[in-house]
């Protein structure tokens, strides 16, 4: 039996992700949206790329949750993206209603799936999906850290004129202006970047990473980033579907780890067939710990706004 993945929201992130998943050729993919006919049209177009690119993934576009039944993984991308000048947090109420309704339907159709949350504000939406679904924490994972880390790695690689593959980094915390790039642990082929760059330059790159989403929002004029976000979700799906046990920065529900209780936060987590299988606790400096807790406070504020 082929695996089944459903993607809710056939917008920029959702449809780009479905195309990437189809090209992996390891699962059938269902793309759901509330806009009539649009996901069907996109799915047909992607299906017709199969003979050219050589994949057999069945791609179905739908407006009916019944078609998503018994998915192994469901990725939720439905919701509004940011407009220029708008923070992720402004989105909270608007997207809470959408994520609530979507999660209810997803859980009914696929009670055993792993949910990957993408909709912003990410940490709050993951928390809300947990609240609505009643799923165990292993099966709700937010995507933000892989993307934020990819942005950080891109800028470091550009700066030092090395391959992105040689740059190792972690960005922790909430997906927002308070994210915590761990520059101390960023290395190029094992060499800490502090030996390769001035502290001022590192701080500039850290700041550009924090503003990475907003920089793209501003350039695009309408909508937000989707090429790197969809690639980041793909890596998480790979890790789960292929049971890779990859350690990736993900937003997961902490129960004591990093001194936090009952809160979604970006931390390194091991992903495998069961979803997230373990939180990896790295030793943080006092300052990093302080920044992580500040980031947690920002997420708690949003959760308060949602009234849960
Ligand atoms: O790092 C991250 N987590 C993110 C998050 C990176 C990039 C984008 N991020 C967020 O993902 C962004 O702020 C948005 O909240 C979502 C989706 O972004 P996208 O760029 O794909 O937005 P679009 O193109 O507007 O697509 C949203 C789709 C659109 O087709 C709507 O018709 C659909 O969502 N939509 C719904 N689908 C199903 N059910 C309901 N209720 C619904 N409402 C809207």
How high is the pLDDT of residue 274?
95
- 293 is known as an active-site residue: no
Which residue owns the Cα nearest ligand 1 atom 4?
Answer: 118
* Alpha carbon of 98 to ligand 1 centroid (Å): 10
Length of the chain: 308
How high is the pLDDT of residue 11?
97
Mean pLDDT in order along the chain per 10 residues (308 residues): 96 98 98 98 98 97 98 97 74 93 98 97 96 98 97 97 96 88 94 97 96 94 94 98 98 97 97 97 94 94 91
How high is the pLDDT of residue 37?
98
With the most atoms of ligand 1 within 8 angstroms of its CB, the residue from 32, 120, 215 to mutate is: 120
With the most atoms of ligand 1 within 8 angstroms of its CB, the residue from 10, 13, 209 to mutate is: 13
234 conformational bin, left if phi > 0, alpha if psi -120 to 50, beta if neither: alpha
- What Rg value do the Cα atoms of the chain yield, rounded? 19
Instruction: Note the pLDDT tens digit of each residue in 7-53.
Output: 999 999 999 999 999 999 999 999 999 999 999 999 999 999 999 99
* Alpha carbon of 12 to ligand 1 centroid (Å): 7
Which residue owns the Cα nearest ligand 1 atom 6?
Answer: 229
Which residue owns the Cα nearest ligand 1 atom 38?
Answer: 33
Task: State the Cα–Cα distance between residues 305 and 44, nearest whole angstrom.
Answer: 40
**SS in 3 state form for the chain?**
CCEEEEEECCCHHHHHHHHHHHHHCCEEEEEECCCCCHHHHHHHHHHCCHHHHCCCCCEEEECCHHHHCCCCEEEECCCCCCCCCCCHHHHHHHHHHHHHHHHHHHHHHCCCCEEEECCCCHHHHHHHHHHHHCCCHHHEEECCHHHHHHHHHHHHHHHHCCCHHHEECCEECCCCCCCEECHHHCEECCEEHHHCCCHHHHHHHHHHHHCHHHHHHHHHCCCCCCHHHHHHHHHHHHHHHCCCCEEEEEEEEEECHHHCEEEEEEEEEEEECCEEEEECCCCCCHHHHHHHHHHHHHHHHHHHHHCC
Q: Which atom of ligand 1 has the smallest separation from the CA of 35? A: 32
Task: State the Cα–Cα distance between residues 244 and 126, nearest whole angstrom.
Answer: 23
How high is the pLDDT of residue 88?
66
How high is the pLDDT of residue 83?
75
Which residue owns the Cα nearest ligand 1 atom 36?
Answer: 78
Q: How many CA atoms lie within 13 A of 6 on its CB side?
A: 30
User: Taking the alpha carbons of 23, 109, 75, 238 in that order, is the dihedral positive or negative?
Assistant: negative
Q: Which atom of ligand 1 has the smallest separation from the CA of 82? A: 13
Q: Which of 139, 175, 210, 270 is catalytic?
A: 175
> How far is the CA of 118 from the CAs of 13, 143, 147, 237, 281, in angstroms?
9, 6, 11, 12, 23
How high is the pLDDT of residue 288?
93
Please, which residues have CB within 8 angstroms of residue 229's CB and are 6 or more apart in sequence? 13, 118, 143, 147
The C-alpha angle 307, 12, 145, rounded to 5 degrees, equals 60
pLDDT mean across residues, the chain? 95
Task: State the Cα–Cα distance between residues 9 and 198, nearest whole angstrom.
Answer: 43
CB 108 within 8 A of CB 66: no
> Can you read off the two tokens belonging to residue 8?
């809710």
pTM over 0.95: yes
> Can you read off the two tokens belonging to residue 179?
């994210």
């Amino acid at each position: 039996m082929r695996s089944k993945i459903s993607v809710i929201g056939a917008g920029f992130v959702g449809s780009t992700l479905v195309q990437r998943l189809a090209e992996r050729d390891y699962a059938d993919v269902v793309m759901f949206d509330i806009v009539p006919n649009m996901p069907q049209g996109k799915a047909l177009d992607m299906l017709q790329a199969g003979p050219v690119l050589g994949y057999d993934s069945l791609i179905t576009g739908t407006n009916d949750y019944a078609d998503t039944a018994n998915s192994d993984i469901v990725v939720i991308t439905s919701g509004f993206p940011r407009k220029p000048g708008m923070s992720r947090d402004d989105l909270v109420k608007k997207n809470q209603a959408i994520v609530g309704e979507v999660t209810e339907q997803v859980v009914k159709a696929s009670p055993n799936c792993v949910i990957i949350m993408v909709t912003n504000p990410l940490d709050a939406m993951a928390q809300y999906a947990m609240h609505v679904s009643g799923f165990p924490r292993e099966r709700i994972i937010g995507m933000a850290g892989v993307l934020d880390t990819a942005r950080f790695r891109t800028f470091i690689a550009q700066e030092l004129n090395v391959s992105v593959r040689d740059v190792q980094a972690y960005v922790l915390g909430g997906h927002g202006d308070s994210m915590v790039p761990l520059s101390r642990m960023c290395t190029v082929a094992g060499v800490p970047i502090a030996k390769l760059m001035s502290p001022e330059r590192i701080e500039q790159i850290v700041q550009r990473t924090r503003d990475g989403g907003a920089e793209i929002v501003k350039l695009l004029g309408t909508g937000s980033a989707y090429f790197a976000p969809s690639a980041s979700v793909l890596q998480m799906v790979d890790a789960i579907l292929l049971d890779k046990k990859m350690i990736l920065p993900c937003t997961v529900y902490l129960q004591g780890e990093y001194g936090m209780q009952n809160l979604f936060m970006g931390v390194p987590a091991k992903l495998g067939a069961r979803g997230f299988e373990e939180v990896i606790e790295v030793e943080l400096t006092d300052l990093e710990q302080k920044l992580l807790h500040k980031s947690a406070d920002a997420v708690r504020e949003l959760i308060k706004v949602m009234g849960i």
